[in-house]
């Protein structure tokens, strides 16, 4: 999928460069129509420059005198051109290719061969597009994270207050992000609705996408819909569904939200095992978020699913009062 994204960006650059060339050609033709002498000058400059280059390489008889003469002629032509441009108030940019990014001339790489900032931005934009989160991450990210909305009073039989608990989870999540490329851990977030699970998932997604990592957010319900479409309706499957299906396996991070809201049957539990297991083997990370308690999860899913979760997932319980009434509907 990342390769497809890179290819798409390269095609965009190619299109932009082509457009810059075509626009220049159109502008020149407009000028030539208005001032035919400009066309003569440009043609003369082009052919004399070529002759000069050839002479400098071949170094034939009297090449020094000949090249000096050519240089002088070129200089006269160029000053005539600039004189006309000044007189007719034609900006210099009219005779240059105007790129969307002048820094890399729409190639994606600057003069030192380094990746241009525009390339990085395009990559991130595409990663946002395929993540399934897009605009949401502008609002839900660590900058908007505020542990103060969580209560600092003891909650039921929990050892930590909801605030200390969320701070601990945020700290662990930051560690998960910082060492994303080197660790082999996953995370399970469980707890009732409105206690910040999805918000924390989004915070993590934003940080990782900004690092250029391929992230997919999908609810369990939607994910199993995509899988069943792929398995049972392959002939009629849309390209979008094919992409969505491959992303489930290929995304560097899969955020599987609302596990337990899908219809639970042997198909979904087998597929869930395949996803968890394959992603583990290929060292792709997964974050699962669920409203089910651990006991309920064990009753619902097979032992082989649970054993993988217990061994390879860091498990965090979210608890406290529903904070959505205080901070909006998306927690």
Interaction residues for Zn ion, span 88-127 (CB under 5 A): 101, 103-104, 116, 118
Alpha-carbon span 119 to 211, nearest angstrom: 13
Instruction: Please give the DSSP secondary-structure letter assigned to residue 255.
Output: E
Closest approach, Cβ 104 to Zn ion, in A, equals 3
Closest approach, Cβ 15 to Zn ion, in A, equals 14
Closer residue to Zn ion (CB): 16 or 291: 16
Q: How many residues line the site for Zn ion (CB under 5 A)?
A: 5
Closest approach, Cβ 175 to Zn ion, in A, equals 33
Per-position x/- string for 279-298, each x denoting binding to Zn ion as judged by CB under 5 A, each - no binding: --------------------
Q: Is 94 in a helix, a strand, or coil?
A: helix
Contact yes or no for 325/193 (Cβ under 8 A): no
Closer residue to Zn ion (CB): 103 or 161: 103
Closer residue to Zn ion (CB): 32 or 99: 99
Alpha-carbon span 8 to 248, nearest angstrom: 20
Alpha-carbon span 38 to 27, nearest angstrom: 12
Closer residue to Zn ion (CB): 12 or 243: 12
Which stretches of 97-205 are assigned E, i.e. beta strand? Answer: 186-190
Closest approach, Cβ 116 to Zn ion, in A, equals 3
Alpha-carbon span 82 to 167, nearest angstrom: 65
Closer residue to Zn ion (CB): 5 or 48: 5
Closer residue to Zn ion (CB): 12 or 314: 12
Choose among 13, 7, 8: nearest CA to 118.
13
Alpha-carbon span 212 to 115, nearest angstrom: 13
Alpha-carbon span 94 to 48, nearest angstrom: 22
Closest approach, Cβ 17 to Zn ion, in A, equals 11
Regarding 272 and contact with Zn ion (CB under 5 A), the answer is no
Name the residues that contact Zn ion, by CB under 5 A. 101, 103-104, 116, 118
């Amino acid at each position: 999928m990342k390769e497809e994204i890179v290819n798409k960006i390269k095609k965009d650059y190619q299109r932009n460069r082509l457009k810059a060339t075509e626009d220049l050609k159109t502008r020149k033709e407009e000028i030539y129509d208005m001032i035919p002498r400009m066309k003569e000058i440009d043609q003369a400059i082009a052919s004399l420059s070529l002759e000069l280059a050839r002479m400098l390489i071949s170094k034939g008889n009297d090449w020094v005198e000949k090249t000096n003469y050519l240089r002088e002629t070129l200089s006269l032509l160029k000053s005539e051109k600039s004189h006309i441009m000044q007189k007719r108030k034609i900006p210099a940019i009219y005779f240059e290719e105007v790129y969307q990014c002048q820094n890399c001339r729409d190639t994606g790489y600057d003069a030192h061969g380094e990746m241009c900032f525009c390339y990085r931005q395009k990559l991130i934009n595409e990663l946002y597009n395929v993540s399934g989160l897009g605009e949401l991450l502008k609002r839900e990210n660590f900058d908007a994270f505020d542990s103060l909305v969580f209560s600092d009073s003891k909650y039921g039989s929990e050892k930590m207050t909801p605030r200390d608990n969320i701070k601990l989870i945020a700290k662990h999540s930051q560690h998960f992000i910082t060492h994303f490329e080197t660790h082999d851990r996953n995370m399970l977030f469980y707890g009732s609705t409105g206690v910040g699970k999805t918000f924390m998932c989004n915070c993590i997604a934003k940080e990782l996408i900004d690092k250029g990592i391929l992230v997919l957010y999908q609810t369990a319900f939607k994910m199993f819909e995509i899988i069943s479409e792929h398995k049972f309706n392959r002939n009629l499957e849309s390209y979008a569904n094919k992409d969505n299906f491959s992303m489930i396996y290929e995304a560097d991070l899969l955020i599987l939200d609302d596990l337990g809201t899908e219809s639970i049957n042997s198909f979904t539990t087998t597929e869930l095992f395949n996803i968890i297991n394959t992603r583990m083997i290929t060292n792709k990370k997964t974050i699962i978020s669920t409203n089910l308690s651990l006991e309920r999860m064990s009753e619902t899913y097979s032992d082989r699913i649970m054993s993988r979760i217990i061994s390879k997932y860091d498990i965090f319980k979210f608890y406290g009062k529903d904070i959505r009434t205080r901070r909006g509907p998306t927690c």
